[in-house]
Structure 1
Amino acid sequence: MKTQYLRLNAAFLALVCLFVVFGNLPRFVPIAGSFGNVNASELVIYLCAAPILIKNFKRLITSRAVLFLLAVNAFSLGVGIYHYGLALDSMFYNIRLSAMILSGFAAGVALHWIFRDDITRLTKAYVVTYGAAALFSFVLLVIYPDSTVLWLKLEQMGISFTGDPHQFRLVSTYLDPNFFGTIIVLPILMGTLLIQRSSYFAIFLLMVIALLFSFSRSGISLALLAFACVFGLRILSMVTQYQSKHIGVRPAHVYFLLLSPFLVLALIYVFDSQVERVVERFTTTRDDGSALSRLRAFDTGTELIAQHPLLGHGYNFAIRYLFKDGTKVDSSLQMVIMSYGFIGTLVTLVAGSLWAWVISGKLRQLPSPLPYLLFRKLLIYTALTLLWAGHFNQIVFYPFWLLPVLALFFYFDQLCVSLKSPHPFRSPHGTFAHSF
């Protein structure tokens, strides 16, 4: 029975990996419905999460994190119905978000069952998955160097998809270079835990090159900010250790710091034209139509927030205004405030911060530093995505961003719950010894 359950978890994680790797490509198989074309793989994820949720029903109803998120979303549904009535399209998106939260919990539970405390194996799985996504994205770039040809192909197949025209730009399997640029930063950060292994260092380089080929200002700047925070905290930790006479520097970190300047110079030399184009993207922001449209979208978001500042419009209920006026809101933070109001957003941020503080404290007590280091990278990435990169893209509620991030958060939640067990790490699938 236990073996069968492990296989069920492994099969579900394999589906999640395929979901991440192939992204929006399943849109080539349209599903007709009252809500337009729906990504087939997303529906498969929701359906296949059900057996794991049923099997772990006790975990589900005792998880404060998942119950809190579901309660906040349910409250926003009530607020939306109060303001706009039974708007079926908005209610559908609200229910869809709850399904994504539950699927993220199922993925987190599955990660814990398969990897237990083995952070190295978990990190390898994430890095390989996103390395495959980057590889398929380059294949798509070779086939469709002009994205308008791809959009036309989708339209001819009866698939409604709106995308910007891109020339020789890595739109990725997500069919959006800016979403990809933001998403790929997390596995790049995770890849720093594996750079001492040559094969994973190659995947790390592939993801970095893919980020550059996305020419995404938000993604590249997010990566720079994230690495600045990670290395800043590392330097602060080294200073503290030096003051307390307990210096601990891993050789891999030294090698990476020494090789970084040469690696950057090599990338600039090999991809000279691409680097020049990236620089141009940052230096011509004022004259760029995309940047100007985001400024207009920010003004629209501010106006909508002002209409219902305390409790918001309800998740995705304000989209009726946007469709009617032909406008949009790009900022994820604005979308959160617009959906849940300042009260709901503040309560969620405070609750999330307290939860992260508790989890961090428990992870610090573990024999291996890897769980805490990975969790800290995840926190830095998520915070910077919401406060910085999320201002330029509707990334926070994007399924290909949300599901893997929720899965990691719920994995750490379940890992800390297992610490209460008398034998929390008795598993043939992972031990802290393997982390070194």
Structure 2
Amino acid sequence: YNLIFNYSFSLKSLLYLLRLTIFVSFFIFPPQTYIKNKITKKFFFLTIMANIGFSYLQYFFWPDSTIFKSLHWDPHLNRLIGTFFDPTFTALIYLLFLIFLFFNSSLSNKTKTFLIIPTYLAISLSYSRSTMLTLLAVSAYTSKQLKKGHIFIFSLILILISLILLPKTTGEGTNLQRTSTILAKIRNYQQAIHLFIKQPILGHGYNFLPQAKQQSNYYQPQSHSNSAFDSSLLTILTSTGLVSFSLFLIAIIKEFKQDSLLKKNLYLAIFVHSLFANSMLYPWVIISLLFLST
């Protein structure tokens, strides 16, 4: 509706909507014959491991990416950002892989330990607080479902030790007590709620948030994030309105109830993480979920 009537027609918005539709269609009609192929699964597995390896190279040999500030991207210093060039999304993808390893019964305990340790260390070196909180949420849910409270206790102790031992280097990004990003997110959420109130039923349309932000003086010409908010849930709510957002939540809850514990934890991780970042709509998160959950 909003693609035609709310604002002037935009080919860019239409193409983004088409891309999202294609991604979603893979979950509705999964190409299981291809995805479940052992060679394909092994290739994706090796790709993630190689990505973690390159992330360590980036962290130790190229820790300063503040040069990208001139291109109006977030300047990260002394943080693991990987080949995705973003610590938050990189950490989430590694967390999804860690969950997959934990529930993978085909791997021996030694192999799991050998793979989980570098994966968790990579998550820690991203200094992503949202991912740490997501890990706690996932471990709490897993502990409850398996009736093994030590899983949550171990995760909590591990994270606390990590917070103490993580290098306190130059740059605000490595300061886990920083409040500037929290205040920025609060302002961002307030803007999203304000735009939602303007079009509560049908929303502003998928990828029409830049136009909506311009009308409300929220648009930042030099920013690369005008098409979304710092929360996928708020982005979807503001874009599609209350009707579509309600259907979206119903579909997620229905899918959540029917799936295995592995899939439930993968969904839970993305859902919780999406409270703090636009993770649910990030293409590489969607692709990772597709391979790890099928």
Q: Tell me which interval the TM-score lies in, with the shorter structure as reference length.
A: 0.7 to 0.9
- Given candidates 149, 174, 182, the residue that maps to 1:291 is 182
Q: How does 1:207-356 map to 2 (within 5 A)?
A: 207-235=119-147, 260=154, 264=158, 268=161, 273-274=165-166, 281-282=175-176, 284-285=177-178, 288-322=179-213, 325-327=218-220, 328=226, 329-356=229-256
**Long gaps (5+) in structure 1:** 1-77, 156-160, 239-255, 361-374, 412-436
More helix by share: 1
Q: Which residue of 2 aligns with 1:44?
A: none
After superposition, give the CA deviation of every residue in 1:342-377 in whole Å (9 maximum; x if it has no partner): 1111112223433444x44xxxxxxxxxxxxxx323
Which residue does the alignment assign to 1:416?
none
Aligned pair 1:177/2:87, yes or no? yes
- Counterpart mapping for 1:1-16 below 5 A: none
CA distance in 2, matches of 1:276, 1:221: 20
CA shift at 1:340, angstroms?
1.7
Cα deviation, residue 106, structure 1: 5.8
Computing the radius of gyration over CA atoms, which structure comes out larger, 1 or 2?
A: 1
Which of 135, 138, 147 pairs up with 2:65?
147
In the alignment, the residues of structure 1 paired with residue 118 and residue 143 of structure 2 have an alpha-carbon distance, to the nearest angstrom, of 21
**Cα pair 2:96 2:269 within 8 Å, conserved:** no
Contact 2:199–2:241 (8 Å) recurs in 1: yes
Separation in 2, partners of 1:229, 1:281: 28
Q: Which residue of 2 aligns with 1:100?
A: 23
Aligned residue pairs, count: 278
Query: What SS does the aligned partner of 2:203 have?
Result: coil
Counterpart Cα distance in 2 of 1:317 and 1:92? 12
Distance 2:199 2:33 in 1: 37
Q: Which residue of 1 aligns with 2:102?
A: 192
1:268: Cα distance to partner?
4.2
Q: Deviations over 1:62-82 (max 9, x none)?
A: xxxxxxxxxxxxxxxx33322
Distance in 2, matches of 1:331 and 1:108, equals 30
Counterparts of 2:276 and 2:290, CA distance in 1? 21
Q: Which residue of 2 aligns with 1:385?
A: 270
Residue among 75, 78, 81 paired with 1:165: 75
Q: How many Å separate the matches in 2 of 1:111 and 1:295?
A: 39
Distance 1:136 1:390 in 2: 25
For 1:408 and 1:171, locate their aligned partners in 2 and report how far apart those are by CA, in whole Å.
21
Amino acid at match of 2:281: F
Which residue in the other structure is 2:34 paired with?
Answer: 110
Tell me: CA distance 1:193–1:127, structure 2 relative to 1, closer, same or farther (3 Å). farther
Superposed, which structure 2 residues align to 1:47-66 within 5 Å? none
Q: Confirm or deny: 8 A CA contact 1:189 1:227 kept in the other structure.
A: no
SS across alignment from 1:314: coil
Corresponding residue for 2:223?
none
Look up the match of 1:90: 13
Question: 1 CA distance for matches of 2:167 and 2:44?
Answer: 27
Unaligned stretches of 5+ residues in structure 2: 221-225
Secondary structure of the corresponding residue to residue 85 of structure 1: coil
Pair 81,108 (structure 1): closer, same or farther in 2 beyond 3 Å: farther
The residue that corresponds to 1:398 in the other structure is 282
2:21, 2:289 → 1: CA distance? Answer: 15
C-alpha distance 260-295 of structure 1, shift in aligned 2 (>3 A): closer
Distance 1:309 1:274 in 2: 43
Residue type of the alignment partner of 1:311: L
CA contact (8 A) 2:191 2:218 kept: no
Partner Cα separation in structure 2 for residue 177 and residue 209 of structure 1: 13
Letter in 1 for 2:249: L
* Deviation at residue 129 of structure 1 after TM alignment: 3.5
Distance in 1 (alpha carbons) for counterparts of 2:175 and 2:31? 37
Shift of 1:109: 4.5
Structure 2 CA distance, aligned partners of 1:233 and 1:407?
Answer: 24
Supply the AA of the counterpart residue of 2:246: L
The residue identity in structure 2 corresponding to 1:132 is A
Contact 1:212 1:275 in 2 (8 A): no
- Structure 1 length as normaliser, TM-score? 0.56
Amino acid across the alignment from 1:142: F
Per-residue deviation at 1:163?
Answer: 2.4
What amino acid is aligned across from residue 22 of structure 2 in structure 1?
A
| Shift of residue 408, structure 1, vs aligned partner | 4.8
Asked whether the equivalents of residues 108 and 408 of structure 1 are also in contact (C-alpha less than 8 Å), the reply is no
Pairwise CA distance, 1:211: 0.5
C-alpha distance in 2, partners of 1:383/1:272?
Answer: 27
Distance in 2 separating the partners of 1:183 and 1:206? 14
